[in-house]
A and B are shown apart, each in its own frame.
Chain A
Amino acid sequence: MAEAILQIFRGDAKGGAAKECRVPMAPGMVVLDALHYVQAHQIPDLAVRWNCKAGKCGSCSAEVNGRPRLTCKTRMDALPLDKPITIFPMKSFPVIKDLVTDVSWNFRINKKIPPFQPRPGADWKIEQKDVDRVQEFRKCIECFLCQNVCHVLREHDKKEEFGGPRFFVRVAGLEMHPMDGASRAGLLRKELGIGLCNITKCCTEVCPEDIHITDNAIIPLKERVVDEFYDPLLMLVRKIRGVKQSQD
């Protein structure tokens, strides 16, 4: 039977190095299958985060041959087997052990987002096309691969000033919810720092759910922020009427 050679990162917060393992290939095998094989036969304490193994929970993110992927959806037969397959943890988050990283920062960001607020007097009659429009954002499985590749987080580590693509997608899912009545423009501008995004679309490229993060979520949200805070006409109207800007 054919064999694959893996170079799996072994280490913790203090550092580590790749360890070579050999696994027998099987039809349709995915990288997560290979990692499970290694756990059962070679390295019983190899730390791997996973749950559904069906691309629905977004737990098993890692960098395979340098590309951020869900290991449960990465087919071994789609990778070149003439050289070792490297499997490393997501780079933008601190390593806990092996392939498991500390993603708790994401949960702290999420807490800042004002929840769904139904419009007063909403009658809950919703058209399917309005559901379809936000579906794209609501199917996010929180794998955090977009957070992992975003330059603002990966190269510049601006975790204190920036929310990252995942949370722009989440805000888009709320803002474009047909029954939602809240405005999160102030949050986007300040706490989530949407202005830092320079729309390189790296997030869109790695999204396993094919969400058009940049085009459909981030750019429209940037426009909302501009409309709310920088529209000269609106600013003038507000000044005359003495209206304060929302949530600023």
Chain B
Amino acid sequence: MSDRFETHEHDVLIIGAGGAGLRAAIEALGQGASVGVVCKSLLGKAHTVMAEGGIAAAMANVDAADDWRTHFRDTMRGGKMLNNWRMAQIHAQEAPDCVRELEHWGALFDRTDNGQILQRAFGGHTYKRLCHVGDRTGLEMIRTLQDRGVQMGFDVYMECTVTRLLKDGDRVAGAFGYWREQGRFVVFKAKSVVIATGGIGKAWPITSNSWEYTGDGMALAYEAGAALMDMEFVQFHPTGMVWPPGVQGILVTEAVRGEGGILRNKTGERFMERYDPQRMELSTRDVVARAIYTEVREGRGTEHGGAYLDISHKPAEYVKRKLPSMYHQFLELADVDITKRPMEVGPTCHYMMGGIRVDAETAQSTLSGLFAAGEAAAGLHGANRLGGNSLSDLLVFGRRAGLAAAKHASSTPAPSVDSAQIDQAERDALEPFQRKDGESPYAVHRDLQDSMQKLVGIFRNKEDLQRSLGEIDKLKQRLKRISVEGSRLYNPGWHLALDLKSMLTVSEAVALSALAREESRGAHSRIDFQNLDPAWGARNNIIGREGEAMRLRQEKVLETPGELKQILAEGK
């Protein structure tokens, strides 16, 4: 093994310090494992911090009739039955305990009149189910988890980016990365690696995601030989800000609609009556996003190309208490007082339902020793995720991933890593410095975003998707010719150049899967195949690597057992 680089050894290495990564770390620590957590940003800045609406868990504090069966059914129906049924079952069953556990670690939630955790309504959930604290639930969650992890004693490697997973034969053996600060390289040796890196929103220009969401974990897993699944299902959240230009895409929480917000087009019509008369504004995200997009496309959009979202009929004090960050966000960034005037909103790329294919019980990928949880993993949400199911996903499967990763580590001998892998990883990372006068990584990124927005957006068709694959191929060639300026010291241009590789890999997986699925299901809408196709409803798209080529195949969706089928058939 090469000793040229700073090296750290852990039983369990966790990549990503959002809710899933931190929850996994806590569980692995509890098992007695030595745990390292690597994150691209400072601790506590991961995307979980932006989650607003709440954590879905059938605690039945507000609606006594709620139970895991209804939550399971809502999740499966929201995902258009493409979900891994076992993940949906585990999630619904374990979420309430995970919320109580978080409370016992110090998280504070809003309360009911009798002192229990308050729950609010959200799209696609039959009952009031989202445990929340105002509209900053994610901040409460990440602080609670981060402080518990710090006190339990994990090692955190902040502002450190992993560029490659290391292997020992056909199992994972660690990771190679660089410190963003000084640009020095670092090697992690680990018996188990948990990927909790979130999604790929930054491949689109209008997104609620931060710079970090470049699909790293999915690309790392793919490069190392693990399978990806359901990559065509990208969630466009119906309500992002649309004006002014600089804030385009910033999330407007679904809690606005959960608290009674009404959507109207420019004529004042409550247009959801035409798209989902029963559930109206609280329909699932895929339906509401398409509705807003269609209103705009057909000429009924607002001045800046969105829809109006109005909560001003509620008392101003109530709005400020239940939606404080929305109130400030619009006042400060858009000069709109939401207690008096409607917001302008439109779809924004928000979440990846697909990701690394995992085992429901252990969160292990198809590669031995590699685990994945949260947005980076696939299966729980099927073709469309319900709001609130993400935070609960992080807790439930973060815990399971940490547990299984620690167990795996305790029964596995220390891996060895040949220096050739590390040398190659170093060469790859330094490559952009080798050229002079090449293109800027920012230009390649912008063109990728434009192409994904135009060709792999909310509504898709065969010609666009084929074109997008051609565009991605050209961008890959351009990436090989870019150059970066400056030194390795905290150099965002260089960092972007390396992130682009992940973005292009994952974008290709999205386009390839979307092209194959000739039907419309959940978040995947094909203009040329507008209906559900039962044959496609029984198949998941699986992406794998064969040499340098990306290969797509289909596998049968896991058959839901009889007693759970019964649950799915019940209810409205």
B486 part of interface (Cβ distance < 8 Å)? yes
In the complex, per-residue mask of A90-106: 1 if CB is within 8 Å of any chain B CB, else 0: 00000011101011100
A51–B134 CB distance below 8 A: no
Q: Which of A41, A53, A103, A126 is within 8 Å of B108, CB to CB?
A: A126
B210–A52 CB distance below 8 A: yes
A57–B493 CB distance below 8 A: no
A64 part of interface (Cβ distance < 8 Å)? no
- Give A103 Cβ to nearest chain B Cβ, in Å: 7
Residues of B within 8 A of A56 (CB): 49-50, 136, 139, 325
Dominant secondary structure of chain A at its interface with chain B: loop
Question: Which residues of chain A from 139 to 156 have a CB within 8 Å of any chain B CB?
Answer: 139, 141-142
A151 to B178, CA, bound (A): 35
Residues of B within 8 A of A246 (CB): none
B279 part of interface (Cβ distance < 8 Å)? no
A19 to B147, CA, bound (A): 39
A96 to B159, CA, bound (A): 12
A29–B246 CB distance below 8 A: yes
Q: Which of A45, A107, A110, A139 is within 8 Å of B493, CB to CB?
A: A45
Residues of B within 8 A of A124 (CB): 100, 103-104, 115
A174 part of interface (Cβ distance < 8 Å)? yes
Closest chain A residue to B493 by CB distance?
A: A44
B212–A47 CB distance below 8 A: no
With a 10 A CB-CB cut-off, give which of B42, B43, B139, B210 has the most chain A CB atoms. Answer: B42
B210–A26 CB distance below 8 A: no
A27 part of interface (Cβ distance < 8 Å)? yes
A51 to B50, CA, bound (A): 10
B50–A177 CB distance below 8 A: no
Q: Which of B45, B106, B329 is within 8 Å of A59, CB to CB?
A: B45
B44–A138 CB distance below 8 A: no
B44–A142 CB distance below 8 A: yes
Residues of B within 8 A of A128 (CB): 110-111, 118
* Contacts A45-B487, A54-B329, A142-B44; A39 near B492 (Cβ below 8 A): yes
With a 10 A CB-CB cut-off, give which of B50, B106, B116 has the most chain A CB atoms. Answer: B106
B30 part of interface (Cβ distance < 8 Å)? no
Q: Which of B246, B442, B494 is within 8 Å of A33, CB to CB?
A: B246
A229 part of interface (Cβ distance < 8 Å)? no
Q: Which of A29, A52, A55, A180 is within 8 Å of B106, CB to CB?
A: A180
Residues of B within 8 A of A142 (CB): 44
In the complex, per-residue mask of A114-144: 1 if CB is within 8 Å of any chain B CB, else 0: 0110100000111110010011001101100
- Give A247 Cβ to nearest chain B Cβ, in Å: 16
Closest chain B residue to A100 by CB distance?
A: B490
Residues of A within 8 A of B151 (CB): 111, 115
A175 to B93, CA, bound (A): 33
Question: Which residues of chain B from 321 to 341 have a CB within 8 Å of any chain A CB?
Answer: 324-325, 328-329, 332-335
Residues of A within 8 A of B486 (CB): 44-45
- Give B316 Cβ to nearest chain A Cβ, in Å: 17
B266 part of interface (Cβ distance < 8 Å)? no
A177–B211 CB distance below 8 A: no
B554 part of interface (Cβ distance < 8 Å)? no
Q: Which of B42, B147, B250 is within 8 Å of A103, CB to CB?
A: B42
B210–A57 CB distance below 8 A: yes
A46 part of interface (Cβ distance < 8 Å)? yes
A107 to B146, CA, bound (A): 11
A115 to B158, CA, bound (A): 21
B251 part of interface (Cβ distance < 8 Å)? yes
In the complex, per-residue mask of B231-273: 1 if CB is within 8 Å of any chain A CB, else 0: 0000000000001111100110000000000000000000000
Interface size on A, residues (CB 8 A): 58
A48–B492 CB distance below 8 A: yes
In the complex, per-residue mask of A19-39: 1 if CB is within 8 Å of any chain B CB, else 0: 000000011111001000001
Residues of A within 8 A of B65 (CB): none
A100 to B180, CA, bound (A): 11
A98 to B492, CA, bound (A): 11
A96–B245 CB distance below 8 A: no
B5 part of interface (Cβ distance < 8 Å)? no
A59–B244 CB distance below 8 A: no
A135–B134 CB distance below 8 A: yes
B80 part of interface (Cβ distance < 8 Å)? no
Residues of A within 8 A of B446 (CB): 40
Residues of B within 8 A of A45 (CB): 484-487, 491-494
Interface range on chain B (Cβ under 8 Å from partner): 35 or more
Closest chain A residue to B243 by CB distance?
A: A28
- Give A208 Cβ to nearest chain B Cβ, in Å: 9
With a 10 A CB-CB cut-off, give which of A28, A100, A124, A178 has the most chain B CB atoms. Answer: A28
B41 part of interface (Cβ distance < 8 Å)? yes
A73–B333 CB distance below 8 A: yes
Residues of B within 8 A of A12 (CB): 489
B42–A135 CB distance below 8 A: no
Question: Which residues of chain A from 4 to 30 have a CB within 8 Å of any chain B CB?
Answer: 12, 26-30
B485–A44 CB distance below 8 A: yes
Closest chain A residue to B328 by CB distance?
A: A55
- Give B205 Cβ to nearest chain A Cβ, in Å: 12
B477 part of interface (Cβ distance < 8 Å)? no
Q: Which of A39, A103, A118 is within 8 Å of B442, CB to CB?
A: A39
B106–A177 CB distance below 8 A: yes
Residues of B within 8 A of A49 (CB): 41-42
Residues of B within 8 A of A50 (CB): 210-211
A6 to B197, CA, bound (A): 35
A125–B116 CB distance below 8 A: yes
B481 part of interface (Cβ distance < 8 Å)? no
- Give B254 Cβ to nearest chain A Cβ, in Å: 15
A58 part of interface (Cβ distance < 8 Å)? yes
Question: Which residues of chain B from 128 to 153 have a CB within 8 Å of any chain A CB?
Answer: 133-134, 136, 139-140, 143-144, 147-148, 150-151
Question: Which residues of chain B from 93 to 134 have a CB within 8 Å of any chain A CB?
Answer: 100, 103-106, 108-111, 114-116, 118, 133-134
Closest chain B residue to A122 by CB distance?
A: B104
B544 part of interface (Cβ distance < 8 Å)? no
Closest chain B residue to A111 by CB distance?
A: B150
Residues of B within 8 A of A138 (CB): 108, 133, 139-140, 143
B441 part of interface (Cβ distance < 8 Å)? yes
Q: Which of B45, B134, B246 is within 8 Å of A57, CB to CB?
A: B45
Question: Which residues of chain B from 369 to 404 have a CB within 8 Å of any chain A CB?
Answer: none
B181 part of interface (Cβ distance < 8 Å)? yes
Residues of B within 8 A of A97 (CB): 489-490
B332–A55 CB distance below 8 A: yes
Residue pairs across A and B with Cβ atoms less than 8 A apart, 22 shown, are: A26-B246, A28-B334, A29-B246, A33-B246, A44-B486, A51-B47, A51-B210, A52-B49, A54-B50, A54-B333, A57-B49, A96-B490, A100-B181, A107-B42, A124-B103, A124-B115, A127-B115, A135-B108, A138-B133, A138-B139, A138-B140, A178-B108
Q: Sorted from nearest, which 5 A-B pairs have the closest CB atoms?
A: A28-B244, A116-B106, A45-B486, A125-B115, A44-B493
New contact pairs (19) apart from A12-B489, A54-B247, CB-CB < 8 Å:
A29-B245, A39-B442, A40-B442, A44-B485, A44-B486, A45-B491, A51-B45, A52-B50, A53-B210, A54-B250, A57-B41, A57-B210, A107-B158, A125-B114, A125-B115, A125-B116, A131-B111, A138-B143, A139-B136
